[in-house]
Amino acid sequence: MKSQYWADQIAERLIKSRKKKSFTVASGITPSGTIHFGNFREIITTEIISRALKDAGAKVRFIYSWDDYDRFRKVPKNMPKQSILKKYIGFPVSQVPNVFGTKHKSYADYLESELEKSVKLVGVKPEFIQQQNKYPKRHYAEEIRTAFQNRGKIARILNKYRKEPLADDWYPGEVFCKKHGNDFTKIIDYDGEYKVTYEHKSGFIKTLDFRKETGLKLKWKADWPMRWAHERVDFEPGGKDHSTYGSSYTVGKDIVKIFDWIAPEYVMYDFINMKGGQGKMSSSAGNAQSLRDVLRFYIPELARYTFAGRTPKTEIFYPMDEGIFKHYEDFYYTERVAFGKEEVSKKEQIQQERVYRMSVVDKVPGTMPIQPSFKHCVELMNIYQGNINQALKNINLKRKIDKNRYSQVLTCAWNWINEFATERYIFKINEKTPRIKMTINQKSAIKDLTKILSKNLNEKQLFKEFGRITKENELGAKDFFQPIYKILINKPAGPRLAPFILAIGRTKVRKLLTI
């Protein structure tokens, strides 16, 4: 049966339309602020397409462009040293100084390195291209000449989507001033070949030969299609803002022909929001959660699954509230189906196998890893107060793959407890038995429970004993469980009692329940 998985369909379409077996797929961003989890949707979408092409037998070059020769437009609210950064508005992002107290040479280099380190953790390994090395080294001199010689054509394409036409003296490029460093400039002349003359707002005038000197770059709507042609790009996704009427991709499809190339296959991806967060993430607004942030709560496979399990056009609300429990379970379902542990239709089997293939960091493991419930891990980390080694000692794990998975989920659970969990999911085991009011029957039931805890009973046997004790002491379930939880964690309710007792340890529970 043919795969209906979204990435496989795009890969098949690419192979048929381009009639070749070697492809370049691309994505990129301007590192002007925190590169957030929403931005990661573009790079992971491209990486998934790359995998689908490779699985179909194609060769793939996956490039990621750091558009760090773009202008620094405004200072994101969550950045340090705002007064310093404001001085560099209008400069190339690569020229903005490092304000993070690290050894990185610039603001852009720091932000780039943060993402590059993070994406490795989820198996994304593109060829990174810094535009601060491409433009200043005059790699695009011929393409810039082509754009300037065809500025009338480019203007006519842009004007089709504008209410007011561009001015007659419009040019498809902009200049960073040699003297002042910023782009508060206007091109006032072009010689028809490689020289432009510009004037800075200060009155400074200079003629620049862009074969030999730095400073000139194409404006975005000419720059993007130019680079499609330069890198021979076959596929690149884009967000909603690049996909509307008159947007970058719309005009780029026509402008790229000027550079003797055809527009890449394109897919629009929708916004991504943190469930319970502040709406669409924005680097400039400062409400951005980075991939590194998300990986403190999601194991790498879950971070990938967040995107692999949905088509790019689907708006995503990724949970950091209690919905995180189900998110883990949804991924585990996909994993079980992929390993034949669930009875499903052939169509569902193929679909989930492909989702899982795109969710794993590298290759699909030979056997299914253990699937620790995130909720149970939250309970364990509460019991052991973040001591992962102590928690693992009480779990009989023999395989390395299982130890790694459990350790990762426990780490994520402890981070979640400390940053997102509500009071309902936070507790601490008492060191001493608190004084609480109980009826005679409740006291009798607890004494009966302490007696059976001297026996080595399993979870099922304990549960059966709970039923016997409540019946013999003429108690309802609530009246039996409530005082026990109050003694153990100072709360009227808590995790399922039988596994909870076993996790804490029968000896410790007996000691606390001895009244």
- Read off the amino acid at residue 424: R
Closest listed residue to residue 323, CA positions, set 377, 289, 374: 374
In the numeric block, the tokens 């995180």 are attached to 324
The domain limits of the chain are: 1-132+139-163+220-333, 374-425, 440-513
Asked whether the whole model's pTM tops 0.75, one would answer yes
Q: What is the pLDDT of residue 276?
A: 61
Q: What is the pLDDT of residue 358?
A: 99
The DSSP annotation for 8-35 comes to: HHHHHHHHHHH--SEEEEEEEE--SS--
Q: How far apart are CA 47 and CA 481, in angstroms?
A: 50
| Cβ count near 21 (within 10 Å) | 12
The DSSP annotation for 389-439 comes to: HHHHHTS---SHHHHHHHHHHHHHHHHHHHHT--GGG-----SSPPP----
Architecture of domain 440-513: Orthogonal Bundle (1.10)
Q: What is the pLDDT of residue 21?
A: 92
Q: How far apart are CA 268 and CA 3, in angstroms?
A: 21
CB 351 within 8 A of CB 451: no
Q: How far apart are CA 319 and CA 84, in angstroms?
A: 36
1-132+139-163+220-333 shares its CATH topology with 440-513: no
HSE value, Cβ hemisphere, 13 Å, CA-based, for 24:
16
Q: In the CATH scheme, what is the code of domain 1-132+139-163+220-333? A: 3.40.50.620
The DSSP annotation for 51-95 comes to: HHHHHTT-EEEEEEEE-TTSB-----TT-S-HHHHHTTTTSBGGG
The DSSP annotation for 202-222 comes to: TS-EEEEETTT---EEE-HHH
Q: What is the pLDDT of residue 279?
A: 47
Q: How far apart are CA 272 and CA 105, in angstroms?
A: 31
| Positions in the chain whose pLDDT score sits under 70 | 276-287
Closest listed residue to residue 187, CA positions, set 416, 176, 453: 176
Q: What is the pLDDT of residue 273?
A: 93
Q: What is the pLDDT of residue 282?
A: 52
